[in-house]
Amino acid sequence: MSTLSSVRDLARAEASPFTFGRAVALLAGVVAVGFETIMTRAELAKSRRQLGELDERLLRDIGLDRATARGESDKGFWA
């Protein structure tokens, strides 16, 4: 088969149509990524809230001061 006939065959081949199955798979992927993002943010918000509840001794152990801990714990869900 020559290169020219390969190009012709390729040009004649139709692009596979966008099917319902592909649309569902794409939507499922978007939902999964969104859910994972929300769960990650919720876990981060919980960790920040717990950081704000630590006493001075524990903050000193991890190398933070009260102002830094308060600044982190005051950040919102999407920060």
For the stretch 10-47, pLDDT in tens is 556 555 677 888 899 999 999 999 999 999 999 999 99
Classify residue 1: in a domain, yes or no: no
Residue with tokens 């099917």, as numbered in its chain:
19
- Distance, in Å, from the CA atom of 44 to the CA atom of 50, rounded to the nearest integer, reads 10
- Distance, in Å, from the CA atom of 78 to the CA atom of 3, rounded to the nearest integer, reads 54
Q: Domain range holding 56?
A: 35-79
Classify residue 30: in a domain, yes or no: no
Domain count, the chain: 1
Spatial contact of 66 and 59, defined as CB atoms under 8 Å apart = yes
Classify residue 28: in a domain, yes or no: no
**pTM above threshold 0.75:** no
Amino acid identity of residue 64, one-letter, is L
